[in-house]
Amino acid sequence: MTAGPSSPSDSSQLELSQDANSEASWILEGERTPQRATVYWVLAAVLLLGGVLLRGFPEAQAEQLHFLTEVVATVLATLVGALALVRYYSKKETTFLFIGTGFLGTAFLDSYHLLVTSPLFETLMDPSRSQENLRAWSWIASRVFLSLFLFVSWLTWRQESARGTGRKVDERSVYITAALLTSVIFLFFTRAPLRPAIYPDAFVPRPAELIPALFFTVTLVGYFLKGAWRTDVFEHWLIVGLLVSALLHGAFAAFSSEPYDQAFSAAHLLKAVSYVAILVGLLASVFTTFRREESAFDLSRRANEALAREVAVRRQAERVLQESEERLQDFLDSANDLILMTQPDGTIEYVNRAWRRRLGYGETELSGRSFSEMVDPGSQPALEKAYEAAITGEAIAGLELYLRSSQEEEVIVRGSMNCRFEDGEPVSVRTMLRDVTEQKRAQQELAHSEANLSALVESTGDAIWSVGEDGSLITFNSAFALEVETLTGLEPRVGVNPLQLVPPDHQDLFRELYGRGLSGERFSQVWEVDLAGHGRAFELYFNPISGGARTVGVVVFSKDVTRRQRAEEALLAAKDEAELANQAKSQFLANMSHELRTPLNSVIGFANILLRKKDAMDPKEVSFLERILSNGKHLLELINEVLDLAKIEAGRMDVELEQVDLQEFLTETLGQMEGQIRGRPVQLVAQVPADLGTLETDPGKIKQVLINLVGNALKFTAEGSVTVEVEPDVEDSSLPQRIHIRDTGPGIPRDRLEAIFEAFQQADGSTARKYGGTGLGLSISRSLCHLLGYHVTVESELDVGSTFTINLNNRPGRGIVTALKETSGEADPKET
């Protein structure tokens, strides 16, 4: 048990320790019980043995020694008494009161004994009185007195310890008793006649010695049994003193047969020794007390210092704690997450800045309110459940709540909750939440968009699916599932290899197609597959999914084109057929033309040859030949025109457009027809405005039309003129708009105006006979004009003439091709 000054804060070290001074000698040690007991026994044995051995020695002259020992004893007794009283007053133990009083009284009695045994006293004393007796009895009195007081001291302790603590003994009465007792003894010795104390021949020469020996022994036993000698240094020395005292009487003094013999001297020496022992005990006790006080003072000083240090440390700790709390506060406030601490019943204890800001509350607004006030009604069950779980010690993660800000704004949060416990009791519930409103909205939007997309993808009967980088199926619509099931009987699932979803002999093809798609190529491919004997055709569109720099997958869109494919095939077949038919028709027409012409060659040719010699022939025969010739020619003309018409109507007539200068064109065309007016009173006139621009047209066809119409006009005009006039556009004089062919012929009856455009219809039945012609010219002209997008009309007045007009429908930007579209396929000459 050492007091460690290095750990002042440990309060247990503040206890007083007897062993604070580790230097203390064994004298001061209180824990040498076995040795002490041994000392007692050894001492007792030595003294007893010493007493027995001394008995055989003769008397010795030891008056000087006696005097000296008594002087020393008196001084020692005074010292012991004084010290014991000092000790008594410092510790207020009754034992010391009696010891102190006893020794002071003994000192008085010893000094008296010294006095009566000194040579000086012999001269003063009454010689009648026995000096020897007084000397012996004064010794005995002092010893009895001391032994009595020591006995009483033990007795008092016993009574006190039996009654409990409390000092009942009045010190003054003790002093008075002692004073009275000594005075009485003194007076007794001076006045009363004394009996002899020594009986030299008895076994015990001095039986009175047994009285103090008895008291000392009883006291010794008492104190020994008290047991304090084990720990108390004074009581140890007291026992030594008592032991010596008891034995100096019982073993030495009692056996001294005459004054100043060996036993007598030893007893006196031992008396001094016993006093010394008690003095040593007192001094040691005082010293120990001083050491104790000093030690206590030192300890208390140290304790004070420790306390001061502790206070400083605590202050420092408080400051550190406060700083740490501020830092923690700052840290919590700097968090973006919403942090909340409540009591187990949900009453808010703390919210961080993010919380207040996000939910729109002031710094102090929230304390004392309940967390659930800020939670949307829909989230209340989740909150309650979380609290219940948290309070039973569960750590909740992934808690999602809909909160309401002070402005009634919805805030969606997700986070964790747990509870702090103290001594097994829930103390506070900590909640850390992250604002996921935006994220959640984005998710919802994404979900909406996905739903839209899904609806979009599902809304089509066409199969749509996508394949990932690793070649596995990512998504597909129900049309895909249906197609796959129809084709293979399998049910597609996300993650499977899509190659397994096509018939085995098509897997290589699809491996290649997916490979192309995944390499970033965008393409389409028609895929034909046989399904239960029916050919199916799908158009597959491969669209790579771009994930930044690389392709992360491919979306395939499949369109069932079986029907379209078949329709196209049918159309192609029909077209081929039609083309074949057309070719056959053309071939037929060509052949027809060829075959009809060949026999006419002979008819016309030989008629011509015969007519070379008409001068030598009968005029009648000449006329026959001429009929053959003219009918042959007519037939040829008919053949030509019928074939032309057939060709137009069959749509076999191609239009070849050129820019035509009408002035030049008319001059050339009309020039070719001048033969028809040779020798006739008819003029052929062309009227073309000087600034006229070119006309985009098929010159061959417009020429045929003009030859037809002009030819007709010349044919029917016996005299007068045929005028071809080009009329420009009203707004743009460079734009040819109409071509008029005017004649001064007989005119056409009103009711025949339309009929003349029909095949084989002339103004009247006799016309053909009179004017010739096939009756197909106007029909062909109208058809050709239709082909070119033109329109032919006629105005006529009988006996004045007729005007045929070709309306060119010439509009800027209006090509003939457009007109062709409008008219092709219905080039019906009957239509006006």
Q: What is the contact surface with another protein in residues (CB under 8 A)?
A: 589-590, 593-595, 597-606, 608-609, 632-633, 636, 640, 643-644, 647, 653, 700
> In sequence order, which residues have a C-beta less than 8 Å from that of residue 716 and are 6 or more positions away?
743, 745, 746, 771, 802
User: Residue 595 Cβ, how far from another protein at the closest point, in Å?
Assistant: 8
User: Residue 586 Cβ, how far from another protein at the closest point, in Å?
Assistant: 9
> In sequence order, which residues have a C-beta less than 8 Å from that of residue 135 and are 6 or more positions away?
113, 116, 117, 259
User: Residue 785 Cβ, how far from another protein at the closest point, in Å?
Assistant: 17
Residue 436: name the closest of 336, 366, 356 by CA.
Answer: 336
Residue 217: name the closest of 90, 48, 54 by CA.
Answer: 48
Helix (H) or strand (E) holding 140: helix 131-163
User: Residue 613 Cβ, how far from another protein at the closest point, in Å?
Assistant: 12
User: Residue 768 Cβ, how far from another protein at the closest point, in Å?
Assistant: 20
Q: Please, which residue, 598 or 766, has the CB nearer to another protein?
A: 598
User: Residue 608 Cβ, how far from another protein at the closest point, in Å?
Assistant: 6
User: Residue 824 Cβ, how far from another protein at the closest point, in Å?
Assistant: 18
464's tokens: 């749509």
For residue 126, give Cα distances in angstroms to 115, 117, 182, 191, 285: 14, 14, 21, 11, 45
496's tokens: 């499977």
Q: Please, which residue, 534 or 594, has the CB nearer to another protein?
A: 594
Q: Please, which residue, 593 or 663, has the CB nearer to another protein?
A: 593
Residue 406: name the closest of 369, 443, 444 by CA.
Answer: 369
Burial 224-239 (b: 16+ CB within 10 A, else e): bebebbeebbbbbbbb
Q: Please, which residue, 382 or 650, has the CB nearer to another protein?
A: 650
User: Residue 589 Cβ, how far from another protein at the closest point, in Å?
Assistant: 7
179: Cα separation from own chain's centroid: 98
User: Residue 590 Cβ, how far from another protein at the closest point, in Å?
Assistant: 6
Contacts 24+ apart (CB under 8 A), 583-589: 585/650, 585/652, 586/647, 586/650, 586/652, 589/643, 589/646, 589/647, 589/650, 589/652
User: Residue 605 Cβ, how far from another protein at the closest point, in Å?
Assistant: 4
User: Residue 821 Cβ, how far from another protein at the closest point, in Å?
Assistant: 23
Helix (H) or strand (E) holding 234: helix 233-247
Residue 734: name the closest of 822, 662, 807 by CA.
Answer: 662
User: Residue 739 Cβ, how far from another protein at the closest point, in Å?
Assistant: 22
User: DSSP string covering 722-748, please?
Assistant: EEEEEEE-SS-TTSEEEEEEEE-S---
Q: CA angle, 263 as apex, 257 and 264 as ends, to 5°?
A: 75
8: number of Cβ within 10 Å = 20
433's tokens: 């939440």
Q: Please, which residue, 487 or 648, has the CB nearer to another protein?
A: 648
Q: Quote the CA–CA distance of 339 and 350 in Å, as a whole number.
A: 8
User: Residue 644 Cβ, how far from another protein at the closest point, in Å?
Assistant: 7
Q: Please, which residue, 632 or 728, has the CB nearer to another protein?
A: 632
**DSSP category for residue 475:** E
Q: Please, which residue, 600 or 753, has the CB nearer to another protein?
A: 600
Q: Quote the CA–CA distance of 38 and 42 in Å, as a whole number.
A: 6
Q: Please, which residue, 236 or 647, has the CB nearer to another protein?
A: 647
The residue assigned the tokens 């004393």 is 125
Q: Quote the CA–CA distance of 755 and 181 in Å, as a whole number.
A: 193
Q: Please, which residue, 301 or 652, has the CB nearer to another protein?
A: 652
Q: Collapse the DSSP code of 166 into the 3-class scheme (helix H, G, I; strand E, B; otherwise coil) and give the result.
A: coil
Q: Please, which residue, 15 or 654, has the CB nearer to another protein?
A: 654
User: Residue 582 Cβ, how far from another protein at the closest point, in Å?
Assistant: 14
Q: Please, which residue, 115 or 635, has the CB nearer to another protein?
A: 635
Residue 404: phi and psi, rounded to 5, are -120, 125
Q: Please, which residue, 210 or 600, has the CB nearer to another protein?
A: 600
Burial of 512 (0-12, 13-18, 19+ CB in 10 A): exposed
Q: Please, which residue, 646 or 673, has the CB nearer to another protein?
A: 646
The residue assigned the tokens 């066809």 is 701
Q: Please, which residue, 427 or 609, has the CB nearer to another protein?
A: 609
User: Residue 578 Cβ, how far from another protein at the closest point, in Å?
Assistant: 20
Q: Please, which residue, 526 or 590, has the CB nearer to another protein?
A: 590
Helix (H) or strand (E) holding 803: strand 801-807
User: Residue 791 Cβ, how far from another protein at the closest point, in Å?
Assistant: 23
Q: Please, which residue, 610 or 755, has the CB nearer to another protein?
A: 610
Residue 62: phi and psi, rounded to 5, are -135, 35
Whether 328 and 421 have beta carbons less than 8 Å apart is answered as no
Q: Please, which residue, 351 or 705, has the CB nearer to another protein?
A: 705
413: number of Cβ within 10 Å = 24
Whether 132 and 259 have beta carbons less than 8 Å apart is answered as yes
Q: Quote the CA–CA distance of 266 and 272 in Å, as a whole number.
A: 10
User: Residue 676 Cβ, how far from another protein at the closest point, in Å?
Assistant: 16
The residue assigned the tokens 């824990």 is 31
